[in-house]
Amino acid sequence: MAEIRLQALAHSYSRTPQGPQDYAIRQMTHVWEQGGAFALLGPSGCGKSTLLNIISGLLSPSEGKILFDGREVNRLSPEQRNIAQVFQFPVVYDTMTVFENLAFPLRNQGLAEGKIRSKVNEIADVLELHPVLHKRAKNLTADEKQKVSMGRGLVRDDVSAILFDEPLTVIDPHLKWKLRRKLKQIHEQFNITMVYVTHDQLEASTFADKIAVMYGGQIVQFGTPRELFEKPAHTFVGFFIGSPGMNLIPVQRCSGGVQFDTIKVPLSPRLQEQLEQLPSSQIKIGIRPEFVHVWDVPFEEGYECDVLHVEDLGTYKILTLRLGEHTLKARLQEDQKVPQRRVHISFPEQWLKVYVDEFLVE
Amino acid sequence: MSLVLEHVSRRVDRTLYIDDANLTFEPGSFNVLLGRTLAGKTSLMRLMAGLDRPTAGRILMNGADVTGVPVRQRNVSMVYQQFINYPNMTVFENIASPLRLSGESNAVIDRKVRETAEMLRIDPFLSRLPLELSGGQQQRTAMARALVKEADIILFDEPLVNLDYKLREELRQEMRELFKARRTIAIYATTEPNEALALGGTTTVLHEGRIVQSGPTAEVYHRPNSVLAAELFSEPPINLLEGRITDSEVTFDETVHFPLNQDLQGIGAGQYRFGVRPSHLGLVPSNDDDLELSVLVELAEISGSETFLHVRNDHFSLVLHLSGVHEYDVDEPIRVYVPTHKLFVFAQDGRLIQAPQRQR
Amino acid sequence: MSNKVENNKAWFLVLPVFVLVAFSAIVPMMTVVNYSVQDIFDQYTRVFVGTDWFRDILRDDRLHDALLRQVIYSLCVLLIEIPLGIGVALCMPKKGIWSSACLILLALPLLIPWNVVGTIWQIFGRADIGLLGWSLNAMGLEYNYAGNPVDAWLTVLLIDVWHWTSLVALLCYSGLRAIPDVYYQAARIDRASSWAVFRYIQLPKLKSVLLIGVMLRFMDSFMIYTEPFVLTGGGPGNATTFMSQTLTTMAVGQFDIGPAAAFSLVYFLIILLVSFVFYTAMTHADKDA
């Protein structure tokens, strides 16, 4: 069991980094509390794999410290850190049975056979591996193999954290559902810190209590799935979380708010005041497709736009709209009436966000 | 150019890979093959491409029998899961390669390559090598190579699997646009129901080498012809309940009773299987005739804008797909509502008896 | 799903090979079969003898002895070369200039022809002018491959080990390089000892290359001829007279074509049978009980 703390941590693969562009991980200070379920979410190349390797001990950070429960572990190997890891492609010991696979880490510790048996049976129960317990691991399906590799971490009492490196990549969608649910239940049952690395926002948000969104070697936001959705702290979070992502439109200041393509968007006096204090002219407004209100009759404060495209995604529909020179997306419930050709939309004040230099203004 | 499969089967030794497939693909159509791993998607594509020969049945292109015609003479392109490009050729040469083979003039090649690259937004990288590009750009290069050939059929075998979530979203959308104005038949294999919905066009649902259902995507989704089709084309998985209809009421699992309503009246008494999509279940009644169930929360998966709520009672478990954030503790007792007018009714053998009416 | 391409035209591509095999193997073999059932006196006189020759050679003590020597020899070759080859592969550097240097060094013995190898060792082992023989004797170990049957036998074994362990090592080396890194990472996390890593990761993943290695070394050592012929001519006594030499003596020396033909068929069947057993045993080892 452990709290994982990154202290002014940074990593560069170059020996003599010249500037921020040479860093795979830019300096960050960050805490993952003991027993939490966390996700590290980002596109490929954002530095999440580097960070994962630093946590697991395969890589030693070039600057700063990594602490487990206050103890510096910078130079400790994975086995010394008591970390378990589930890899993208299932790793099982082919020649062993499932039972032997699960018993392997315990046998390596020299535990008594009776103890091993009860522990393995307990974990096999939790993971629902009993039907295949005496099958050779080689002949399992991908999802069973992933459960086995997770089980090898769970059997140990001394494991401080389990790291997951995109563990559902090779799993079919209908099994992903089951396995993801299993992961979540296990986390609730065992008091183990879990860090889940993925590029899939749905996996991250359904698994984790808190998500760290990584972009360009930095954690741009650390928050609950709800916070990331409702209050993205960075335009990248707005774009990356949500399907489709947030509508982001570059705007200019004007009296009473901001404007783009002759369309004026009023802002609250508080936001206007904040905006005036910032020198940058890099301003964007953002609103999630889910929060765009769509009407088929004109009304005050509404903007009229053309409907470009309607997608039926089964449980909901996506409307692509043209407002001024920009396209916007709006999400409709399955049963909501689909307007023809022209619609009127409004941006509820609560959900309209303003970004300066890509960061949220509150 | 149309493509027709007539009673096509493929068997290798004792294993039946494709069992009596009958399909028609219209020119300019976008077609999704949906099925789990090993459902036969790749086998079917290989037959269409001419990489494999069917052990029974005929394949017709524009009415002409091409069953035995090998792939080289068929004018098909294929895009794979892996990003397959020539590693030591530039992006330009990669895209140009099929045109060079067919002996086009340099001017034509240059024009076509640039057009296609622009369409796929890789025109800034034409002089680079594929391995210097990101995964998404590499796959775009492979796609450009398939497109530039102006093949009669383009086969996509789970092309987006190895890409980031967001990139997938983006490319999926581009694909639809790309094929709008073309006469090419596009065939796209995927394991993900949501991808099929996002791509639109027509969908063929495959399972264990057999075609379960084929038709316009929305039609297949809203009117699955069987329990199997509904299960395969539903994410999260559709909820299924065993039940009985009598003259006056409907019973689920011998425990839940509700009066027979207008929608279910015409069906007749008997044992049925009832299906309800997770997104149709609610925490508040949406209609007067909603059925109230007392259940315990098993797990709430929250994805920012949505919640997947797993609940159960002694007899069955259900998944709810709710919009918005709903936080619950494990084992918390709650009530959920089943809209009885949105029930799918299946016969005991799995056949669809009735699908819910759709609001337009 | 299967990725195999089925194409009936493929048979035409196989045809040249088939013709080649027919000429190189099937036709000569049929000739041998023909000899093995007849007693040939001269060009015009031959008698059909049925299975007489087979019965004879199966009762021939000389052949029993040769077979026993051969089996022991091949077993020793496998028991030494396979573990040694794996060991060498495990010790080799994984990358960099040293790994290339090792590869070249290992490949060298493989490039030397059999009779040259025999000649090298013949001189190398001589007690008067050979480095090995002279040194051993100087150390007080009496060594004389020409006179002492044990010395002769050990020398022939040593030659094979020197000549062919590299092959096993190279095969294993390529097998080891193909194991993905995550397996080692997972094992470290599970705190596996290096023995456990070898036993549960490396050895299982080496299985297919080892299968090839074992088969090649078995077949090759079972047919050994040149080295003992060059070194000792099969002596002293019959200490290094293996199957192939016995056969040669029979066919060429004594001109007993019939028994020799029967013998070579039995010889061939033994190799086929043992290889088949090895192959089946190794490929079925991982099936669920």
Return the percentage of chain C with pLDDT > 90, whole number.
12
Q: Tell me how many helices (H) and strands (E) chain B has.
A: 9, 20
pLDDT in tens, A134-183: 999 988 988 899 999 989 988 988 888 899 988 888 888 888 888 888 88
Say which residues have a Cβ less than 8 Å from residue C52's Cβ, sequence separation at least 6: C39
Assess contact for C239 and C73: CB atoms under 8 A.
Answer: no
Helix A113-127 vs helix A98-108: crossing angle, to nearest 10: 130
More confident residue, A235 or B135: A235
SS (H, E, C) B76-113: EEEECCCCCCCCCCCHHHHHHHHHHHCCCCHHHHHHHH
pLDDT in tens, A187-216: 888 888 999 999 888 888 888 889 999 998
Q: Which residue has the tokens 């789970």?
A: B158
Pairs of residues, one from chain A and one from chain C, whose beta carbons lie less than 8 Å apart: 56
Q: How buried is B146 (Cβ within 10 angstroms: 0-12 exposed, 13-18 middle, 19+ buried)?
A: buried
- Rounded mean pLDDT, B62-91: 87
Chain C interface disruption, residue of A88, A108, A150, A170, most C CBs within 10 A: A108
Return the percentage of chain A with pLDDT > 70, whole number.
100
Tell me the pairing of strands B306-312 and B291-302.
antiparallel
- Rounded mean pLDDT, A21-32: 88
- Chains in touch with B (3+ beta-carbon pairs under 8 Å) read A, C
With contacts defined as CB-CB under 8 Å, which chain B residues touch C1?
Answer: 17, 38, 40, 42-43
Model pTM score: 0.80
Assess contact for C250 and C256: CB atoms under 8 A.
Answer: yes
CB-based contact, B108 to chain C, within 8 Å:
no
Highest mean pLDDT (candidates A26-40, B59-73, C132-146): A26-40
Return the percentage of chain B with pLDDT > 70, whole number.
99
CB-based contact, B104 to chain A, within 8 Å:
no
pLDDT for A287: 94
Interface of C with B (CB under 8 A): 1-2, 4-7
CB-based contact, A288 to chain B, within 8 Å:
yes
Q: In Å, how far from its chain's centre is CA A170?
A: 18
pLDDT for C10: 67
Beta sheet of B306-312, edge-to-edge order: B317-323, B306-312, B291-302, B333-338
Q: How buried is A170 (Cβ within 10 angstroms: 0-12 exposed, 13-18 middle, 19+ buried)?
A: middle
With contacts defined as CB-CB under 8 Å, which chain C residues touch A135?
Answer: 288
pLDDT for C289: 41
pLDDT for C233: 75
Assess contact for C73 and C156: CB atoms under 8 A.
Answer: yes
With contacts defined as CB-CB under 8 Å, which chain C residues touch A78?
Answer: 185, 188-189
DSSP B132: G
Distance CA(A168)–CA(A142), nearest Å, equals 9
CATH of domain B239-354: 2.40.50.140
CB-based contact, A170 to chain C, within 8 Å:
no
Assess contact for A303 and A343: CB atoms under 8 A.
Answer: no
Q: Quick check: B43 and C2 CB within 8 A? A: yes
Nearest C-alpha neighbor of A163 from the set A78, A93, A76, A237: A78
Q: Which residue has the tokens 């009714």?
A: B345
Does A1 score more than 50 pLDDT? Answer: yes
Q: Quick check: A43 and B305 CB within 8 A? A: no
pLDDT in tens, C121-177: 888 888 788 888 888 888 888 877 777 888 888 888 888 898 899 999 999 999 998
The pair of three-digit structure tokens given for residue B109, joined into one six-digit string = 């090649």
Counting Cα atoms < 13 Å in the Cβ hemisphere of C195 gives 1
Closest-approach residue (CA) in chain C for A155? C190
With contacts defined as CB-CB under 8 Å, which chain B residues touch C2?
Answer: 12, 15, 17, 43
Assess contact for A304 and A227: CB atoms under 8 A.
Answer: no
- Give B227→chain A minimum CA distance, Å: 15
Distance CA(A156)–CA(A163), nearest Å, equals 14
pLDDT-based confidence at C2, cuts 50/70/90? very low
Nearest C-alpha neighbor of A267 from the set A359, A200, A350: A350
Does C1 score more than 50 pLDDT? Answer: no
C-alpha dist (Å) from residue C251 to B15, C37, C44, C223:
51, 15, 19, 16
Chain B interface disruption, residue of A48, A197, A230, A243, most B CBs within 10 A: A243
Q: Quick check: B38 and C1 CB within 8 A? A: yes
Chain A interface disruption, residue of B163, B165, B331, B332, most A CBs within 10 A: B165
pLDDT averaged over every residue in chain A = 88
Side chain identity at B48, as an amino acid letter?
Answer: M
Q: Which residue has the tokens 């057993």?
A: C277
Widest CA span in chain B:
77
Tell me the pairing of strands B210-216 and B64-65.
unpaired
- Give B281→chain A minimum CA distance, Å: 12
Q: Which residue has the tokens 């040259």?
A: C116
Nearest C-alpha neighbor of B216 from the set B355, B29, B9: B29
Beta sheet of A342-346, edge-to-edge order: A293-295, A342-346, A303-312, A316-323, A326-333
- Give A206→chain B minimum CA distance, Å: 5
pLDDT-based confidence at C7, cuts 50/70/90? low
pLDDT-based confidence at C8, cuts 50/70/90? low
Please tell me the total number of residues recorded for chain A in this structure: 362
pLDDT for C57: 77
Q: Quick check: A43 and B164 CB within 8 A? A: yes
Closest-approach residue (CA) in chain B for C9? B70
With contacts defined as CB-CB under 8 Å, which chain B residues touch A43?
Answer: 164, 166-167
C-alpha dist (Å) from residue B208 to A229, B5, B39, B80:
39, 18, 5, 21
pLDDT for C128: 80
Which member of B17, B53, B70 has the closest CB to residue C1? B17
Indicate the Cα dihedral angle B113, B115, B119, B123, nearest 10°.
60
Distance CA(A312)–CA(A336), nearest Å, equals 11
Closest-approach residue (CA) in chain A for B323? A333
Q: Please give the helix or strand (H or E) that residue B312 lies within, else none.
A: strand B306-312
pLDDT in tens, C186-229: 888 888 888 999 999 999 889 888 888 888 888 888 888 888 88
Distance CA(B265)–CA(B267), nearest Å, equals 6
Assess contact for B197 and A312: CB atoms under 8 A.
Answer: yes
Q: Quick check: B305 and A290 CB within 8 A? A: yes
Q: Which residue has the tokens 């023995």?
A: C195
Q: Quick check: C200 and A104 CB within 8 A? A: yes
Chain C interface disruption, residue of B10, B33, B48, B52, most C CBs within 10 A: B52
Q: Quick check: B197 and A314 CB within 8 A? A: yes
Q: Quick check: A311 and B200 CB within 8 A? A: yes
Tell me the pairing of strands A193-198 and A161-165.
parallel
CB-based contact, A49 to chain C, within 8 Å:
no
CB atoms within 10 A of CB C251: 18
Does B187 score more than 90 pLDDT? Answer: yes
Helices of type H across A57-140: 78-81, 98-108, 113-127
Q: Quick check: A138 and C186 CB within 8 A? A: no
The pair of three-digit structure tokens given for residue B194, joined into one six-digit string = 């949501």
With contacts defined as CB-CB under 8 Å, which chain A residues touch B279?
Answer: 314-316, 334
Q: Quick check: B43 and C7 CB within 8 A? A: no
Q: Please give the helix or strand (H or E) that residue A179 lies within, else none.
A: helix A173-189
CB-based contact, A91 to chain C, within 8 Å:
yes
pLDDT-based confidence at C22, cuts 50/70/90? confident
Side chain identity at B209, as an amino acid letter?
Answer: G
Nearest C-alpha neighbor of B161 from the set A171, A164, A244, C2: A171
The pair of three-digit structure tokens given for residue B40, joined into one six-digit string = 């036969």
pLDDT averaged over every residue in chain C = 82
Q: Please give the helix or strand (H or E) that residue C160 lies within, else none.
A: helix C149-177
pLDDT-based confidence at A337, cuts 50/70/90? confident
- Give B294→chain A minimum CA distance, Å: 22
Beta sheet of B76-79, edge-to-edge order: B76-79, B153-157, B185-190, B30-34, B202-207, B210-216
CB-based contact, A77 to chain C, within 8 Å:
yes
pLDDT-based confidence at B235, cuts 50/70/90? confident
Q: For chain C, positions 167-186, list CB contacts with chain A under 8 A.
A: 180, 182-183, 185-186
Query: Does domain B3-232 correspond to CATH entry 3.40.91.50?
Result: no
With contacts defined as CB-CB under 8 Å, which chain A residues touch B299?
Answer: 181, 184-185
CA geometry: angle B18, B24, B29, nearest 5 deg = 115
pLDDT in tens, B305-344: 788 899 998 888 899 998 888 888 888 899 999 988 889 9
Closest-approach residue (CA) in chain C for B39? C1
Say which residues have a Cβ less than 8 Å from residue A225's Cβ, sequence separation at least 6: A204, A205, A206, A208, A211, B302, B303, B304, B325
CATH of domain C58-284: 1.10.3720.10
More confident residue, A327 or B325: A327
Q: Quick check: A288 and B169 CB within 8 A? A: no
The pair of three-digit structure tokens given for residue A264, joined into one six-digit string = 């004026």
Lowest mean per-residue pLDDT among A52-56, A322-326, B36-40, C231-235:
C231-235
Helix A142-154 vs helix A173-189: crossing angle, to nearest 10: 10
Q: Quick check: B12 and C2 CB within 8 A? A: yes
CB-based contact, A199 to chain B, within 8 Å:
yes
pLDDT-based confidence at C287, cuts 50/70/90? low
Query: Does domain A246-361 correspond to CATH entry 2.40.50.140?
Result: yes
pLDDT-based confidence at B360, cuts 50/70/90? very low
- Give A10→chain C minimum CA distance, Å: 23
Distance CA(C247)–CA(C241), nearest Å, equals 10
Distance CA(A288)–CA(A244), nearest Å, equals 8
Helix B91-101 vs helix B106-119: crossing angle, to nearest 10: 130
* Structural domain spans, chain B: 3-232, 239-354
pLDDT for B202: 93
C-alpha dist (Å) from residue B300 to A187, B275, B306, B321, B332:
13, 21, 10, 10, 11
- Rounded mean pLDDT, A333-362: 87
Pairs of residues, one from chain B and one from chain C, whose beta carbons lie less than 8 Å apart: 17
Instruction: Tell me which CATH homologous superfamily contains domain A4-239.
Output: P-loop containing nucleotide triphosphate hydrolases (3.40.50.300)
Distance CA(A67)–CA(A144), nearest Å, equals 33
* Structural domain spans, chain C: 58-284
CB-based contact, B262 to chain A, within 8 Å:
no
